[in-house]
């Protein structure tokens, strides 16, 4: 984070940095889990899928720690203005990342199930591509956060559209597979949920980007979030 | 109307002013004080002040001016020679006044019928006045009598005029105040301005005193230096006034005696006073302090003449019998030592009480700071408290010094009257103050250098103590800024 | 522990606090020494005070008792009222010489009655004070009806008799004394045995007038007391209001400029100007210039007022300054004017301090001698002064003038006068302290 | 981000009570306040914050002309109370101060009884005709100051015998007894412990229903707690003035931000 | 909320109550939206579905307001201990409710789509039952919050199990319909997501219940949350 | 909820520096401290908080026997510094105070030069052999007190001429010049403005690497900011003593909770 205007109480700065370091750590864990889950799906590696599922505990613990640290920071330092926004943003981001961790874990679980079933076409590769795109989105959102980079954050918001389009494509692909062969239905259901989860991670990344914009400018982005997920109903 | 009666009348008009003005303004607002600018009482006071103050001023002016005017009028009755020569004129005027007031008394006592006053003969006057107990020294000259009669006449008409004018002014003031009395009249501001004037007048008394001191000594000092060369006065080493003339007034022996006695006094007072103060302020329990401090202060409350007697009948003989004679240093009961020690004792409470207060004024937080660092009490006192209090203590010391220099009675009774330049502290010496008393209470002509030298001495003394005091003041003021 | 600087906070050796090192013991010894200096100083001061008071009381207390002769006197009408008309005017014409004769005769008769033989009647009659006839005269004039009767009177004995009673006069000194002879001392012994002479409480000493150098036994303090009382009264009435008013102006209203600085310096200086200078001032201004009567208590009071003013002003200003500024702010904040603030809040709070200053100032004024000498208050005054314009004297001046008289009997009286002076001081202080307590105990 | 949407918390657009325009204050040659313009609304608590020596007290004391007592102090610009210039020649500052009351840093009750403390103002301003009216004023003021229940049985015991917090409330009661329209407070809680402080703050919050309150404080927390509007002063300038919630959550000026977030200002 | 130990600064209590009132308002909106969406599904009422979809804006606005209020509370009152937990809990609950609002909105959207399709057996009724159960869960969680009722909160946590079981039953039912008739697949996909969303609302209710326990006891509930959703993978 | 997991903030289990067991203090007949037992660790900042009059200062002053100067004060119980009873008969309080330094509420520099202020302690305790050593101590202490850069050019100008915050730091420098092991501070910032306060707090945070610091404060925020451990006193009792984060986020005792959250305690 930028530290060209430090607090007189340097311990405050240290605390703020420490808690932001935790966020980065969480982000790293979640990104890895996401990629690993997709990888497990492609390589049908049950071991890896189990690792991903169990890895979520660490993320949950980190979120709890971030919350505790933030509560502590608020109690001890009574932050206001930017500092307060920083702390509140940290909590929001942590909770987003925790959710992302949950999705990754869910991916892992479903990957474990899918390894027992027959593979369905090249879908796994598409899923991995989408996971990769979302992971990049998450990474950029967190980078934008650390650098307080509004431009990057705005970029993340735009790129979520692409993820949504990837999801739409996948959704149609799975539907096709299900219609083609009813035996695929169970596996495709899992793939459906997997794709949805990845799409949700993308949404969370966008949320983080919006937090960054709020943190820096003190305002929430005005224009409605560009949404391209058309699977849940008629496009508005 | 006599002055007292006139004052009473003015007071009555003033009281009326208070009542009327207050009543008037209350009536104007229907008894609701909220609508007034000031409290009702202020309107009353304004009335009282307006009624009395200008009238009082007129009266005072009249009282001062009337004799002057009368004097200039009656002077025409006096012979040219008398009128021209101030001293003679002064004497003549005194005579005139005495005769005039004697005539008043005689008329009042019935010794002279009122209508006969104008025609009474100079020879008669003395006898007639004698019967009412007014003794006239010399015979009354016709001029004096005529002047006295004129004086008396004019004084009487002046008296009537005074009463009339003063009462008129008072009534006018009252009327003016009544007219000015309106609810939005700023009565409080007016009254407060008058009170402030009174306060300012009171504070100029100090200045007037100094002016008076200087004025009363300056002209006589110059007169003295006109008769006696100042170089011989300031640098002469012999002091031998001779009331039959041909005196030498060498000032140095007096200065030496003064300084010597002061030195001894300070050698006694400073260590004793300072250590006592330190003990009281830092070590004594509050109870012990509350007993000991007033006891020491009793010393300051004892009149100096008592110390004089103590010096005269206790210390002097003691020093003579136990120190001076055994050591072969003289056999005088009065000595520098005697006076110095006694003055020193007298000054102990000044030093101890002032220093005690100053030491106490050193904030406790400084002591706590020092104790908190692990200093002992004496280290704290010596290294923190005393340096912080030092300027104040020096100021106290200087004040005590100037007291010692100006001390009179102890020296008169304890040090003797011999002006000497000697180093032997057991010899009698004397100081300026003693000589001032001596020269001024001697039976000499007021105009002779033997008397006038006292004024020169007084002036010198005043200048010396003035310098010391200004020094003390400077030191003390500087110290005040220390912790703020 | 000198290597502390290398790593300030961490001394290499952690010393125990349970053992005192050498340095500490040395510091504690210095502490004890320092403390004892203070104790010694206080002891000396108090010892001197005690010594002074002791000598004064030892030498002065006896002056309150005086040797008095007590014997029956026949107030012979022939001498005292030749006309027999008991006309006060006539009675007043009889001189003390006449009364003296009456006393002489009566004493000799009394001696004869007691069977005391005399070589020379003069030896006995000389023992009667020269002031005694006047005493008798006063008794008679106070009650002319007594003329012709024989009454028991108590009159002053000669000063030397008193001295003999108090040990001042001995047979050796009497040898050299023109006023008394050793034989007379024997006579006194006999008379004392017969109850003709004894020490009695001496009201005359406190309330009587002064007497000439020859009659120390008759000298009294009455005029000095009246003079001092007048002066104190006038000093309070003048200096307290003026002093307080001046202080209020300087402390609360005066702008801080050169003029008020000048006043400040002036006041501090006046407080320390030698009193003798004030005497010169009084002499020049009040007597020579304003023509006030010489030796009057009015002039004395004016001089003393000028002397005490600075003391009162300084004390008053100090106590005004000690009133916390927050009180002034508070009053101004509710819309009181400056004048109201001062008179409603500041002055009442400063009152104890003002009274303390007044006590101090008055005590100094009461004991002041030198300036009074210059304005002639040392003059020998025989009439009680009725107004402050009449000539008077003051207690300390009386002390001084008695102390400078030759007769040793006056030393005793001088000490006695000091006791009265101190008593006067104590009374004044008690009054002021009670007053101050009233102000202090309000809260 | 609009913090003020909940109806109960909205600051109604009150009338302007005190309107200061381009106020400059000099102490001798030093320029202590530089062109300060503030419109203080009625029935609100306005807080002045800022580092030491920035001129908060100076400005506060301009508002009731307590600065008149400082000889070297010169005030320029216009300060209007209800539209009337308080520095007009015709204004008697003594009367002004009865309308613009003041409470000080250290509780400073007069060393008199509680009753006398409160009744002093009404007495010198002749607000009452008789004792009964005075009693009534005293009671109502003590009630307004939330002190009545604590002292009603000892109205005639000394005000100095109360605890610090009670003393400060007594001073507030004394100030409102002259029925002022504005109450100025210069660091009124800095001499109090936290509990007394909280009580006085609570009282201030209640007072704003009847008075316009202006409070100077060093404690940003306090400003945040009690005030509806906050002015931030810095080196004699008014840097920012606005709604308190906004100042503390998203200040506009970087200097305000630095100061309230504990960076070197 | 319990107010038997009020703050000296009564405005603080008022502020806390105001922000909690917002939460209750949010809760009410979300519950209604949930029931309405289910109702629209059963009655095939497109109007109602549209209303539900549009109603979410209010919930979003309320969440933003709660966040702003909480930020304000923290900035102005520097709360600590219970007060701080209250504020942080409020923010968490608001964010949960906002998510629930999103799910309800999504339900509404999908209901709009489903009204255009043929109805699938009695599934709509089952969905409404589940929605009703979840709404009750949410209501009880919020009641537990207002009353600071730990027992009720624990009860909510237990009852989430039942919701999970209902979800499992629905999941299997939809799967059967899809296998039976591939024409049902698209509609069933929507129903799948609807059921999943309702189940998620149940999870959020449980989360709120856990916040209540944390708020009152200062500790997070120790035992792992009883989870009975077996559809995403092997039961642990 | 373990707040202390981040490595940088963990309080290591330090040695106990001061161990107070069942301390009771009476002022005459009034019982000011009731059975207080506290173990103060080395190299930590310990804060004492509590309402006015609860005995914080009293307890603090027991720790270096500054209470000895109050005649009516009686201390029972055991207070050990590094295991040695400081109320032992053989202990000279003067020596003790050199080891347990104290900093006071109001900055109280001696009216001497900055240099003399700092060198006073080393001089009276004879800690140096020569001027060079003394210079070195003065410099290092001023550096530790974060004051060196501000005053190095005017070491011989009076300490009273510094600003309030600088004065307080000078007092801290003066206290550490006798190389104490414990530093007691009784409300060291209550006379300072917020910026000076922050600077002194920052300094305290640095000092704990070398000293055991005990600080009394009325400001809970301050206790929260500077201390690692906090003790809450109430009516002469020690109510709660523990890790600061825990005290301020989840206190165990309802009285602590009431006090820190601004309810009536
Ligand atoms: N009577 C005075 N004479 C000269 N200068 C003054 C006077 N009073 C204040 N000043 C100066 O005016 C400036 C503003 O002072 P003011 O007292 O208004 O500050 P403040 O903001 O109230 O500070 P604090 O928070 O310390 O009370 C300061 O620089 C101060 O030094
Ligand atoms: N010198 C003393 N004589 C008598 N009682 C005292 C003395 N000093 C303190 N006390 C009493 O002991 C109790 C504790 O006082 P202490 O000064 O330790 O409180 P504190 O917690 O420091 O309060 P504060 O926060 O106001 O400084 C109080 O009731 C006080 O009245
Ligand atoms: Mg200020
Ligand atoms: Mg304390
Ligand atoms: O009561 P205090 O501790 O703030 O002096």
Mutate to test the interface with D, among B30, B37, B40 (most CBs of D within 10 A): B37
For ligand 2, atom 6, name the residue with the nearest CA: F27
pLDDT at F10 over 50: no
Residue ranges of E strands in D91-191: 100-103, 182-186
Angle at alpha carbon of residue C396, lines to B308 and C163, rounded to 5°: 75
Measured CA distances, C434 to B291, C234, C385, F181 (Å): 18, 21, 30, 54
pLDDT at D229 over 90: yes
The total number of structural domains in chain E stands at 1
Q: Which chains are adjacent to chain B, needing at least 3 Cβ pairs under 8 Å?
A: C, D, F
E and F make contact (3+ CB pairs below 8 Å): yes
Can you list the domains of chain B with their CATH numbers?
3-203 (no CATH), 234-483 (1.10.3720.10)
- Sign, Cα dihedral of D130, D133, D139, D140: negative
Weakest-pLDDT range from B238-252, B445-459, E215-229: E215-229
Residue A202 domain flag: yes
Question: In Å, how far is B353's CA from the nearest CA of chain F?
Answer: 23
Element (H, E) at D26: strand D16-27
SS3 A219: coil
What letter would DSSP give residue B141? P
Residue A178 domain flag: yes
pLDDT digits (tens, 9 = 90+) for F94-145: 889 989 999 998 899 998 899 999 999 999 988 888 899 999 999 999 998 8
Task: Copy the structure tokens of residue C208.
Answer: 């009587």
Q: Name the β-bridge partners of D39.
A: D19
Mean pLDDT (whole number) for B20-37: 87
Element (H, E) at D28: none
Can you list the domains of chain F with their CATH numbers?
2-109+180-260 (3.40.50.300)
Q: With beta carbons less than 8 A apart as the criterion, state whether C406 and C243 touch.
A: no
> Residue C1: which of F82, F91, F127 has the nearest Cβ?
F127
Residue A1: band (very low, low, confident or very high) from pLDDT cuts 50, 70, 90:
very low
SS3 B398: helix
CA distance D141 to C114: 92
Chain F interface, Cβ < 8 Å to A: 1-3, 5-6, 8-9, 195, 198-199, 201-202, 205, 221, 224-225, 244-245, 248-249
Q: Which residues line ligand 5 (CB under 6 A)?
A: D 193; F 52, 187, 218
Closest CA to C215 of C173, C171, C156: C156
Number of Cβ atoms within 10 Å of the Cβ of C437: 12
pLDDT at C370 over 70: yes
For ligand 1, atom 1, name the residue with the nearest CA: D70
Q: How far apart are the first and last CA of chain B?
A: 60
CA distance A46 to A49: 5
Distance of CA B412 to the CA centre of its chain: 22
CATH of the domain at E57: 1.20.58.220
Residue ranges of E strands in chain A: none
Domain enclosing residue A147, as ranges: 6-217
CA distance C173 to C170: 5
Question: In Å, how far is C411's CA from the nearest CA of chain B?
Answer: 9
Which atom of ligand 5 is closest in space to residue D191's alpha carbon?
Answer: 4
Percent over 90 (pLDDT), chain C: 25
pLDDT at B193 over 90: yes
pLDDT digits (tens, 9 = 90+) for D127-174: 888 899 999 999 999 998 889 988 999 999 999 888 888 999 999 999
User: Which ipTM score applies to this complex?
Assistant: 0.80
Q: Which is higher by pLDDT, C5 or A126?
A: A126
pLDDT at C313 over 50: yes
Q: Tell me if B374 and F99 make a contact (CB, 8 A cut-off).
A: yes
Mean residue pLDDT of chain D comes to: 88
Residue E49 domain flag: yes
- φ/ψ bin of E4: left (φ > 0), alpha (ψ from -120 to 50), beta (otherwise): alpha
CA distance C23 to C20: 8
Mean residue pLDDT of chain C comes to: 86
pLDDT digits (tens, 9 = 90+) for B238-288: 888 876 777 888 889 999 999 999 999 999 999 999 999 999 999 998 899
Residue F11: band (very low, low, confident or very high) from pLDDT cuts 50, 70, 90:
very low
Weakest-pLDDT range from C181-195, C237-251, C376-390, D78-92: C376-390
Which atom of ligand 2 is closest in space to residue F218's alpha carbon?
Answer: 25
Task: Copy the structure tokens of residue C368.
Answer: 């002041």
Q: Name the β-bridge partners of F75.
A: F25
* Residues sharing a CB contact under 8 Å with residue B246, sequence separation 6 or more, in sequence order: none
Q: Tell me if E113 and A233 make a contact (CB, 8 A cut-off).
A: yes
Angle at alpha carbon of residue C195, lines to C192 and C201, rounded to 5°: 85
Mean pLDDT (whole number) for B5-26: 92
Q: With beta carbons less than 8 A apart as the criterion, state whether E198 and E34 touch.
A: yes
- Residue F19: its pLDDT value, please? 94
Nearest CA in chain F to B384: F110
Q: With beta carbons less than 8 A apart as the criterion, state whether B268 and B340 touch.
A: yes
- Residue F265: its pLDDT value, please? 52
SS3 B61: helix
> Residue B39: which of D92, D95, D124 has the nearest Cβ?
D124
Residue E227 domain flag: no
Mean pLDDT (whole number) for E179-196: 86
Q: Is D55 in the pocket of ligand 1 (CB under 6 A)?
A: yes
Q: How far is the CA of B75 from the centre of ligand 4 (A)?
A: 84
Weakest-pLDDT range from A39-48, A219-228, B464-473, C342-351: A219-228
Q: Which chains are adjacent to chain D, needing at least 3 Cβ pairs under 8 Å?
A: A, B, C, E, F
Q: Is D70 in the pocket of ligand 1 (CB under 6 A)?
A: yes
pLDDT digits (tens, 9 = 90+) for B315-327: 999 999 988 888 8
Q: Tell me if A75 and F248 make a contact (CB, 8 A cut-off).
A: yes
Which atom of ligand 1 is closest in space to residue D60's alpha carbon?
Answer: 18
Q: What is the 3-state secondary structure (H, E, C) of chain C?
A: CHHHHCCCCCCCCCCCCCCCCHHHHHHHHHHHHHHHHHHHHHHHHHHHHHHHHHHHHHHHHHHHEEEEEEEEEECCHHHHCCCCCCCHHHHHHCCHHHHHHHHHHHHHHHHHHHCCCCCCHHHHHCCECCCHHHHHHHHHHHCHHHCCCEEEEEEEECHHHHHHHCCCCCHHHHHHCCCCCHHHHHHHHHHHHHCCEEEEECHHHHHCCCCCCCCHHHCCCHHHHHHHHHHHHHHHHHHHHHHHHHHHHHHHHCCCCHHHHHHHHHHHHHHHCCHHHHHHHHHHHHHHHCCCCCCEHHHHHHHHHHHHHHHHHHHHHHHHHHCCHHHHHHHHHCCCCHHHHHHHHHHHHHHHHHHHHHHHHHHHHHHCCHHHHHCCCCCCCCCCCCCCCCECCCHHHHHHHHHCCCCCHHHHHHHHHHHHHHHHHHHHHHHHHHHHHHHHCCC
Nearest CA in chain E to A49: E233
- Residue B444: its pLDDT value, please? 64
Question: In Å, how far is F188's CA from the nearest CA of chain E?
Answer: 22
- Residue C10: its pLDDT value, please? 40
- Residue E227: its pLDDT value, please? 60
For ligand 2, atom 5, name the residue with the nearest CA: F27
Weakest-pLDDT range from B424-428, B477-481, C73-77, C138-142: B477-481
Number of Cβ atoms within 10 Å of the Cβ of F229: 23
Q: Tell me if C329 and D111 make a contact (CB, 8 A cut-off).
A: no
Q: Tell me if F1 and E218 make a contact (CB, 8 A cut-off).
A: yes
Task: Copy the structure tokens of residue C125.
Answer: 């009659």
What strands lie across the sheet with C150-156, from one edge to the other?
C150-156, C65-74, C197-201
Nearest CA in chain D to C337: D94
Residue A2: band (very low, low, confident or very high) from pLDDT cuts 50, 70, 90:
very low
pLDDT digits (tens, 9 = 90+) for F144-202: 888 898 899 999 998 888 888 899 999 999 999 998 999 999 999 888 888 888 888 98
Residue A232 domain flag: no
Mean pLDDT (whole number) for C256-281: 86
Half-sphere exposure of B404 (CA within 13 A, CB side): 36
Q: Which is higher by pLDDT, B396 or E139?
A: E139
pTM: 0.82
Question: In Å, how far is D3's CA from the nearest CA of chain E?
Answer: 6
pLDDT at E3 over 70: no
Residue E234 domain flag: no
Q: Tell me if C336 and D109 make a contact (CB, 8 A cut-off).
A: no
CA distance E123 to F204: 68
Chain F interface, Cβ < 8 Å to D: 51-52, 164, 193-196, 198, 218-221, 262, 264-265
Measured CA distances, D51 to D56, D229, D230, D264 (Å): 9, 18, 14, 10
CA distance F169 to C19: 32
> Residue D126: which of B33, B186, B189 has the nearest Cβ?
B33
Using a CB–CB cutoff of 8 Å, tell me whether A186 touches chain F. Answer: no
Using a CB–CB cutoff of 8 Å, tell me whether B365 touches chain F. Answer: yes
Q: Which residues from chain F sit within 8 angstroms of residue B369, using beta carbons?
A: 104, 108-110, 171, 174
Percent over 90 (pLDDT), chain A: 48
Q: Tell me if C339 and B192 make a contact (CB, 8 A cut-off).
A: yes
pLDDT digits (tens, 9 = 90+) for F56-70: 999 999 999 988 888
Domain boundaries, chain C: 65-201, 222-439
- Residue C179: its pLDDT value, please? 83
Residue E231 domain flag: no
Q: Which residues from chain A sit within 8 angstroms of residue E192, using beta carbons?
A: 189, 192
- Candidate CATH numbers 3.40.50.970, 3.20.20.60, 1.10.3720.10, 3.40.50.1860; the one for domain C222-439: 1.10.3720.10
Residue E224 domain flag: no
Q: With beta carbons less than 8 A apart as the criterion, state whether F252 and F231 touch.
A: no
Task: Copy the structure tokens of residue A165.
Answer: 């389009």
Most confident option among B416-430, E59-73, E212-226? E59-73
E and B make contact (3+ CB pairs below 8 Å): no
């Amino acid at each position: 984070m930028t530290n060209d205007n430090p607090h007189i109480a340097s311990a405050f700065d240290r605390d703020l940095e420490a808690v932001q370091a935790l966020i980065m750590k969480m982000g790293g864990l979640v990104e890895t889990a996401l990629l690993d889950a997709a990888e497990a799906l492609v390589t049908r590696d049950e071991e890896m899928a189990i690792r991903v599922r169990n890895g979520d505990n660490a993320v949950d613990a980190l979120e709890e720690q971030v919350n505790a640290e933030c509560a502590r920071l608020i109690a001890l330092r009574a932050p206001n203005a930017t500092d307060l926004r920083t702390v509140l943003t940290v909590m929001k981001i942590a909770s987003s990342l925790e959710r992302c961790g949950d999705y990754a874990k869910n991916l892992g679980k479903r990957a474990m199930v899918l390894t027992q079933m027959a593979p369905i076409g090249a879908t796994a590769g598409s899923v991995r591509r989408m996971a990769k795109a979302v992971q990049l989105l998450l990474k950029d959102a967190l980078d934008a956060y650390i650098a307080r980079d509004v431009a990057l954050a705005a970029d993340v918001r735009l790129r979520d559209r692409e993820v949504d389009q990837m999801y739409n494509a996948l959704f149609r692909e799975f539907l096709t597979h299900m219609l083609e062969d009813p035996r695929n239905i169970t596996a495709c259901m899992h793939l459906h949920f997997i794709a949805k989860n990845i799409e949700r991670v993308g949404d969370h990344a966008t949320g983080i980007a919006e937090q960054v914009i709020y943190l820096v400018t003190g305002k929430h982005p005005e224009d409605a979030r560009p949404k391209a997920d058309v699977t849940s109903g008629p496009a508005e | 109307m006599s002055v007292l009666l006139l004052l009473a009348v003015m007071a009555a008009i003033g009281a009326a002013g208070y009542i009327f003005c207050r009543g008037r303004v209350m009536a104007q607002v229907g008894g609701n004080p909220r609508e007034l600018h000031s409290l009702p009482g202020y309107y009353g006071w304004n009335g009282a002040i307006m009624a009395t103050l200008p009238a009082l001023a007129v009266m005072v002016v009249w009282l001062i001016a009337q004799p002057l005017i009368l004097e200039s009028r009656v002077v025409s009755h006096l012979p040219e020679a008398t009128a021209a020569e101030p001293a003679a004129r002064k004497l003549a005027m005194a005579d005139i006044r005495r005769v005039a007031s004697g005539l008043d008394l005689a008329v009042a006592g019935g010794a002279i019928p009122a209508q006969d006053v104008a025609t009474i003969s100079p020879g008669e006057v003395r006898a007639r006045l004698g019967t009412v107990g007014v003794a006239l020294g010399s015979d009354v000259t016709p001029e004096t009598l005529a002047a006295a009669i004129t004086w008396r006449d004019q004084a009487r008409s002046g008296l009537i005029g005074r009463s009339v004018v003063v009462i008129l002014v008072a009534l006018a003031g009252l009327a003016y105040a009544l007219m000015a009395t309106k609810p939005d009249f700023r009565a409080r501001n007016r009254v407060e301005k008058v009170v402030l004037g009174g306060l300012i007048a009171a504070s100029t008394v100090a200045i007037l005193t100094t002016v008076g001191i200087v004025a009363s000594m300056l002209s006589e000092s110059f007169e003295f230096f006109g008769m006696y060369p100042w170089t011989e006065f300031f640098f002469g080493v012999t002091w031998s006034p001779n009331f039959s003339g041909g005196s030498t007034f060498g000032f140095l022996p007096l200065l030496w005696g003064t300084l010597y006695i002061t030195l001894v006094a300070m050698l006694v007072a400073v260590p004793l006073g300072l250590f006592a103060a330190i003990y009281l302020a830092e070590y004594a329990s509050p109870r012990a302090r509350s007993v000991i401090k007033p006891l020491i202060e009793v010393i300051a409350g004892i009149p100096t003449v008592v110390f004089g007697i103590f010096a005269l009948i206790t210390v002097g003989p003691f020093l003579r019998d136990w120190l001076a004679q055994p050591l072969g240093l003289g056999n005088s009961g009065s000595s520098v030592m005697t006076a110095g020690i006694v003055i020193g004792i007298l000054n102990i409470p000044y030093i101890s009480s002032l220093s005690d207060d100053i030491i106490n004024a050193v904030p406790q937080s400084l002591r706590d700071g020092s104790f908190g660092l692990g200093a002992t009490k004496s280290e704290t006192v010596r290294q923190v408290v005393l340096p912080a209090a030092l300027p104040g203590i020096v100021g106290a010391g200087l004040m005590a010094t100037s007291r010692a220099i100006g001390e009179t009675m102890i020296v008169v009774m304890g040090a003797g009257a011999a002006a000497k330049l000697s180093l032997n502290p057991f010899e009698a010496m004397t100081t300026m103050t003693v000589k001032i008393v001596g020269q001024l209470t001697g039976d000499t002509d007021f105009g002779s250098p033997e008397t006038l030298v006292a004024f020169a001495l007084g002036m010198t003394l005043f200048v010396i103590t003035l310098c010391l005091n200004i020094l003390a003041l400077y030191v003390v003021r500087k110290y005040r800024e220390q912790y703020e | 522990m000198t290597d502390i600087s290398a790593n300030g906070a961490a001394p290499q050796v952690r010393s125990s606090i349970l053992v005192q090192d050498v340095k500490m013991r040395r510091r504690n010894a210095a502490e004890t020494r320092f403390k004892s200096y203070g104790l010694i100083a206080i002891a000396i001061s108090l010892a001197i005070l005690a010594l002074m008071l002791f000598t004064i009381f030892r030498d002065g207390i006896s002056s309150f008792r005086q040797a008095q002769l007590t014997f029956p006197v026949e107030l012979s009408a022939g001498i005292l009222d030749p006309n027999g008309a008991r006309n006060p005017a006539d009675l007043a014409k009889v001189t003390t010489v006449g009364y003296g004769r009456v006393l002489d005769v009566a004493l000799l008769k009394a001696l004869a009655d007691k069977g005391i033989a005399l070589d020379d009647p003069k030896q006995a009659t000389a023992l009667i004070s020269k002031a005694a006839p006047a005493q008798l005269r006063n008794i008679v004039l106070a009650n002319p009806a007594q003329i012709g009767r024989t009454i028991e009177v108590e009159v002053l004995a000669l000063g030397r008799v008193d001295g003999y009673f108090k040990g001042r006069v001995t047979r050796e000194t009497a040898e050299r004394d023109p006023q008394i002879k050793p034989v007379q001392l024997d006579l006194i012994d006999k008379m004392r045995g017969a109850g003709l002479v004894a020490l009695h409480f001496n009201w005359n000493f406190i309330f009587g007038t002064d007497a000439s150098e020859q009659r120390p036994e008759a000298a009294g303090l009455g005029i000095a007391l009246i003079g001092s009382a007048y002066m104190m009264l006038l000093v309070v009435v003048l200096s307290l209001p003026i002093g307080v008013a001046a202080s209020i102006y300087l402390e609360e209203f005066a702008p801080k400029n050169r003029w008020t600085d000048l006043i400040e310096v002036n006041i501090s200086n006046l407080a320390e100007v030698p009193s003798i200078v004030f005497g010169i001032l009084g002499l020049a201004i009040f007597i020579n210039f304003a023509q006030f009567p010489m030796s009057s208590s009015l002039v004395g009071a004016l001089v003393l007022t000028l002397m005490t003013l600075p003391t009162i002003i300084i004390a008053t200003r100090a106590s005004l300054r000690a009133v916390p500024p927050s009180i002034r702010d508070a009053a101004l904040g509710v819309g009181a004017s400056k004048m109201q603030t001062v008179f409603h809040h500041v002055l009442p709070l400063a009152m104890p301090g003002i009274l303390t200053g007044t006590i101090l100032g008055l005590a100094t004024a009461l004991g002041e001698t030198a300036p009074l000498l210059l304005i002639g208050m040392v003059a020998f005054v025989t009439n009680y002064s009725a107004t402050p314009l009449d000539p008077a004297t003051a207690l300390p001046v009386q002390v001084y003038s008695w102390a400078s008289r030759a007769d040793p009997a006056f030393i005793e009286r001088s000490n006695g006068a000091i006791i009265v002076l101190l008593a006067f001081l104590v009374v004044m202080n008690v009054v002021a302290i009670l007053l101050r307590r009233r102000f202090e105990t309000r809260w | 981000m609009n913090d003020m949407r909940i109806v109960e918390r909205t600051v109604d657009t009150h009338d302007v009570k005190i309107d200061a325009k381009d106020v400059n204050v000099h102490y001798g040659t030093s320029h202590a306040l530089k062109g300060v313009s503030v419109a203080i609304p009625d029935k609100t608590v306005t807080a002045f914050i800022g580092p030491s020596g920035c001129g908060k007290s100076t400005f506060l004391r301009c508002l009731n002309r307590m600065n008149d007592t400082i000889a070297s102090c010169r005030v320029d610009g216009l300060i209007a109370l209800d539209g009337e210039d308080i520095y007009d020649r015709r204004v008697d500052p003594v009367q002004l101060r009865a309308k613009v009351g003041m409470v000080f840093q250290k509780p400073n009750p007069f060393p008199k009884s509680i009753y006398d403390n409160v009744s002093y103002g009404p007495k010198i301003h002749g607000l009452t005709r008789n004792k009964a009216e005075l009693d009534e004023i005293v009671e109502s003021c003590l009630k307004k100051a939330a002190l009545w229940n604590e002292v009603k049985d000892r109205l005639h015991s000394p005000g100095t015998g109360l605890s610090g917090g009670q003393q400060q409330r007594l001073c507030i009661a004394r100030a409102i007894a002259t029925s002022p329209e504005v109450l100025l407070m210069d660091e009124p809680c800095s001499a109090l412990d936290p509990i007394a402080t909280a009580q006085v703050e609570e009282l201030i919050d209640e007072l704003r229903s009847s008075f316009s309150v202006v409070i100077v404080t060093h404690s940003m927390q306090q400003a945040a707690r009690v005030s509806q509007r906050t002015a931030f002063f810095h080196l004699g300038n008014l840097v920012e003035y606005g709604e308190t919630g906004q100042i503390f959550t998203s200040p506009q000026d970087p200097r305000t931000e630095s100061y309230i977030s504990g960076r070197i200002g």
